Copies of this chain bind each other. A is one copy, B any other.
Amino acid sequence: MIIVMKTGVTTEQIEEVVSFVKSLGAQTHVDRGEVQTVIGIIGEKAEILRKPWGSFTGVEKVLEVSDPFKLASRKFHPTDTVVEIEGVKIGGGNRCVIAGPCSIDTEENAMLIAKSVKAAGAQMFRGGAFKPRTSPYTFQGSGETGLKILENVKKETGLPIVTEVMSIDQIDLISRYADVIQVGARNMQNFNLLKELGRRKIPVLLKNGIASTAKEHLMSAEYVMSEGLKDVIICLRGVRSYETAMRNSLDVALIPYLQHLSHLPVVVDSSHSTGLRSYVSPVAYAGMAAGADGLILEVHPNPKEALSDGEQALLPRDFEYLMQRLENLTAWDQKEWNKIEKSKK
């Protein structure tokens, strides 16, 4: 961590910072430049980082050197995490496609979709029983009825279940049905929820926030992991932008970037990033090309009747076509590139 002092800083102002750092148990190194003086802090600790350095009269700004996440960081855990859910693996070269409706409506529809996506190659089934909605006047989810439908789907098809939790009081109930618990964009920084999930044993699929950065996304994974759970799947669903063409904006560069910073698997949700059926497949395809560890997609046989987000649902035949195309796709392999890099040096 580096503290940049203001132009014209006095010796007293420098001393004030130096002695404060010492009182926190760390060392400093002072560099007096011609224009500006810089104080390096050796032995960076979280507590030091969070001190209100801007309150010192001589301080202009503080530059962080290292990232604030540890358990989620590849620096401290160089090998890929492989999350295993009832025999289905994701991460470390294992690719996995999760598919199903946005909301669970009827058992008939759920079963039909599950069978169709399984036949096409999906390895897990997704479906929301509790739904976060911007308006209190729209459909809020089918609740426990929906969870029981998911249970039947699993019995019938064998597909593990991914479903969303919205608040701490739902965790016990959902845990009885879910194989992976999904945390949605609006809850990415619901820290109490994250910590409580970290104390359980069910893998968490963590979507990025509406306007989060990749590092904040990993900090939220860190919240879960700091309580003990290691199985976190990072899910990219795009962020808000001034571009109105798509519902959200998803930068595929974040796939290799997150895989570089972290050992956790990264999946792409192009249903929510685009919000429009026509663009779900090309973005899913591009995400896998960029090296994603998997996809989570919405499929509905009759989107006009879907209780939520019907506009972004793929038809079963779209999903089937996408899965066929994916079979012949060679993904970009960043690790292979890294190896070539090293060997050629």
Contact = CB atoms under 8 A, between A and B. Distances in A.
A86 interface: no
A214 B190 contact: no
Given A2-B2, A242-B242, A250-B251, 6 more contacts: A34-B43, A134-B216, A136-B191, A246-B254, A249-B251, A253-B282
A301 to B, nearest CB: 11
Contact of A50 (B139, B253, B254, B276): B139
B279 A285 contact: no
Q: Which 4 A-B pairs have the closest CB atoms?
A: A52-B310, A211-B211, A54-B311, A289-B289
A277 interface: yes
A76 to B, nearest CB: 9
Contacts of A11: none
- For this chain, the copies found in one complex come to 4
Contact of A63 (B63, B212, B274, B337): B63
B238 A63 contact: no
Interface stretch (A88-96, A107-115, A147-155, A322-330): A322-330
A145 to B, nearest CB: 18
Given A42-B31, A52-B306, A211 B213 contact: no
Interface string A155-166: 000000000001
A77 interface: no
A169 B166 contact: no
22 contacts: A20-B304, A29-B31, A31-B42, A33-B43, A35-B75, A51-B310, A54-B310, A55-B303, A132-B189, A134-B219, A137-B226, A209-B210, A213-B243, A240-B242, A241-B241, A241-B249, A242-B242, A246-B251, A252-B283, A252-B286, A286-B290, A321-B337
B244 A241 contact: no
Indicate the member of A31, A226, A251, A325 with the most B CB atoms within 10 Å.
A251
